Amino acid sequence: MAKTKSTFECMACGYQSPKWMGKCPNCGAWNQMEEVIEHKAKGPKTAITESSSSERVEKLKNITKESTPRSTTYIREFDRVLGGGIVPGSLILIGGDPGIGKSTLLLQVCALLSKDNAVLYISGEESVRQTKLRADRLKEDAGELSVYAETNLQIIHETVKKTNPKFLVIDSIQTIFHPEVTSAPGSVSQVRECTQELMRMAKNMNIATFIVGHVTKEGQIAGPRLLEHMVDTVLYFEGDTHHSYRILRAVKNRFGSTNEMGIFEMRNTGLSEVLNPSEMFLEERTKNVAGSTIVATMEGTRPLLVEVQALVTPTTFHNPRRMATGIDHNRLSLLMAVLEKKQGLLLQQQDAYIKVAGGVKLDEPAVDLSVIISIASSFNDKPTRGDDCFIGEVGLTGEVRRVARIEQRVQEAAKLGFKRAVIPKNNIGGWDFPDGIEIVGITNISEALRLAFN
């Protein structure tokens, strides 16, 4: 007879305990321990035979390199984030807030892929008629797309073997359950086992598989962190539900860069590509306003021009506030300390608020100079020239250091009509300046401040 064993598993991180606890000792989450009953059958264990492995040990020098061409999705922004297209047999996880557009994006991708390939879209949250209603709103024709509504993983496996699609979509992983796992759908055990089985299916049958995953309040994909380690690519679909723009980022990609970013606009007919995001980020900019500067940043191989806004006001508290949206809070404190020490700006009694317009997150050091200028502009209540662009990394001694890919940054600024680019002096030389823009090299923030307000 089968023996049953009861354990308690944390729904947030997967930690297991023989007894219930109010607080998980591993991740610190409260009221996340749920009982999981495991059935173990008595009997001899299955021996591992030689034929259980389809591969044999080989040296790398004896393995021939096979060309595996990527499949394009015909959506350039999506292909950019994936690293050039979909790799056959890859397992891709897409996460995002509810209602952000994950299912809409994948339905558009499937509609385009189904014109030349066999695509199976499995929905665990909607019926086939509801999926049809959603597809009718899209501008792409999804008539050749195969749709199936099922949550049982074993039935899904049999269906995939019969249809043998080239692309598979699971929407979503939290609704799929393995009948041999006793816990409820969406639990840590179910999500882990189902993803493991889908990974075997994708690798053995060479099917590119997309998995939709919900996120928690902290913005992490629901389920154990092991889920992100198992898949080949992890994409996050970000955006504000009150605005129409969406950003697709890669936080893990075994077949490409994780620095790329795709930008879409949500419309009635689905998601539309934004091919020139710099214009989008600057379209609502107000010129000749104190505290506003422009920086040319790099998102992977794409240059972007974004606006950095600063508001510096006298504080009414003993400890002034430092708030940053779009840049690291610690970097803001560091740059304000450099300004106060090297330029004598009395910022100890000032609240400082920094925001990157458009919802972009900037984590590269080339934005330091723009942040410095915007803080000084707001503190002195002096606007900078509306056609200036500031690029450079700032050191602790006030020096402005060189940055990478300066030529692409300046070319993007010139294309959008900026007349002057303030860059590190060490970046001048070795490349051709574009027409219509003045290049000014500086060595420290004192020179930058003189140029910005003269």
What pLDDT sits at residue 38?
64
What pLDDT sits at residue 69?
82
Residue finishing a domain among 247, 275, 303: 275
Residues 215 and 306 in one domain: no
**98 annotated to a ligand binding site:** yes
**442 annotated to a ligand binding site:** no
Name the percent of the chain lying above pLDDT 70. Answer: 91
> What total number of domains does the chain contain?
3
Instruction: Show the tokens assigned to 287.
Output: 């010129």
Q: How far apart are CA 250 and CA 331, in angstroms?
A: 23
In a domain, 297, yes or no: yes
In a domain, 381, yes or no: yes
**103 annotated to a ligand binding site:** yes
Whether the pLDDT of residue 143 is over 90: the answer is no
Whether the pLDDT of residue 218 is over 60: the answer is no
In a domain, 64, yes or no: no
- Is residue 448 within 8 Å of 295, Cβ to Cβ? no
Q: How far apart are CA 9 and CA 223, in angstroms?
A: 11
Residues 107 and 246 in one domain: yes
- Per-residue pLDDT tens digits for 65-123: 666 688 999 999 999 999 989 999 999 999 888 888 899 999 999 999 999 999 999 99
- Is residue 426 within 8 Å of 402, Cβ to Cβ? yes
Instruction: Show the tokens assigned to 116.
Output: 């030349």
In a domain, 49, yes or no: no
Residues 34 and 88 in one domain: no
Residue finishing a domain among 275, 299, 320: 275
Residues 270 and 285 in one domain: no
- Is residue 79 within 8 Å of 72, Cβ to Cβ? yes
Residues 224 and 310 in one domain: no
CATH code, domain carrying 353: 3.30.230.10
Residues 6+ apart with CB under 8 A from 449: 343, 372, 373, 376
Q: How far apart are CA 115 and CA 446, in angstroms?
A: 59
Name the percent of the chain lying above pLDDT 90. Answer: 55
Q: How far apart are CA 352 and CA 344, in angstroms?
A: 16
Exposed/middle/buried for residue 318 (C-beta within 10 Å: 0-12, 13-18, 19+)? exposed
In a domain, 124, yes or no: yes
Instruction: Show the tokens assigned to 194.
Output: 């189902």
**370 annotated to a ligand binding site:** no
Residues 293 and 255 in one domain: no
Residues 346 and 404 in one domain: yes
Sign of CA dihedral 53, 58, 64, 67: positive
- Is residue 125 within 8 Å of 106, Cβ to Cβ? no
Whether the pLDDT of residue 52 is over 60: the answer is no
Q: How far is CA 233 from CA 87, 242, 365, in A?
A: 10, 28, 26
CATH code, domain carrying 113: 3.40.50.300
In a domain, 392, yes or no: yes
What pLDDT sits at residue 369?
96
Q: Inter-axis angle of helices 368-380 and 445-452, to 10 degrees?
A: 50
pTM: 0.76
**102 annotated to a ligand binding site:** yes
**373 annotated to a ligand binding site:** no
Whether the pLDDT of residue 301 is over 90: the answer is no
Residues 6+ apart with CB under 8 A from 72: 79, 85, 86
* Confidence at 412, pLDDT banded by 50, 70, 90: very high
Residue 11, phi then psi, degrees to nearest 5: -75, -15
Radius of gyration of the chain (CA): 26
Residue 64 amino acid letter? T
**97 annotated to a ligand binding site:** yes
What pLDDT sits at residue 65?
64
**How distant is the alpha carbon of residue 137 from its chain centre?**
26
In a domain, 63, yes or no: no
Whether the pLDDT of residue 210 is over 80: the answer is yes
Residue 68 or 223, more confident: 68
Residue 223's domain comprises 69-275
- Is residue 210 within 8 Å of 216, Cβ to Cβ? no
Residues 253 and 285 in one domain: no
What pLDDT sits at residue 50?
41
Residue finishing a domain among 246, 275, 304: 275
- Per-residue pLDDT tens digits for 230-286: 899 999 998 876 778 888 989 899 988 888 888 899 988 889 998 888 888 888 888
- Per-residue pLDDT tens digits for 173-189: 989 999 888 777 887 77
- Is residue 367 within 8 Å of 327, Cβ to Cβ? yes
SS3 sequence of the chain: CCEEEEEEEECCCCCEECCCCCECCCCCCECCEEEEEEEECCCCCCCCCHHHCCCCCCCHHHCCCCCCCCECCCCHHHHHHHCCCECCCCEEEEEECCCCCHHHHHHHHHHHHCCCCCEEEEECCCCHHHHHHHHHCCCCCCCCCEEEECCEHHHHHHHHHHHCCCEEEEECHHHCECCCCCCCCCCHHHHHHHHHHHHHHHHHHCCEEEEEEEECCCCCECCCCHHHHHCCEEEEEEECCCCCEEEEEEEEECCCCCCCEEEEEEECCEEEECCCHHHHHHCCCCCCCCCEEEEEEEECCEEEEEEEEEEEEECCCCCCCEEEECCCHHHHHHHHHHHHHHHCCCCCCEEEEEEECCCCCCCCHHHHHHHHHHHHHHHHCCCCCCCEEECCEECCCCEEECCCCHHHHHHHHHHCCCCEEEEEHHHCCCCCCCCCCEEEEECEHHHHHHHHCC
Residues 120 and 267 in one domain: yes
What pLDDT sits at residue 43?
47
In a domain, 172, yes or no: yes
What pLDDT sits at residue 427?
94
Q: How far apart are CA 287 and CA 69, in angstroms?
A: 47
* Confidence at 206, pLDDT banded by 50, 70, 90: very high
Residues 269 and 311 in one domain: no
Residues 143 and 291 in one domain: no
Instruction: Show the tokens assigned to 432.
Output: 């051709």
- Per-residue pLDDT tens digits for 324-379: 999 999 999 999 999 999 999 989 889 999 999 877 888 899 999 999 999 999 99
**99 annotated to a ligand binding site:** yes
Residues 270 and 331 in one domain: no
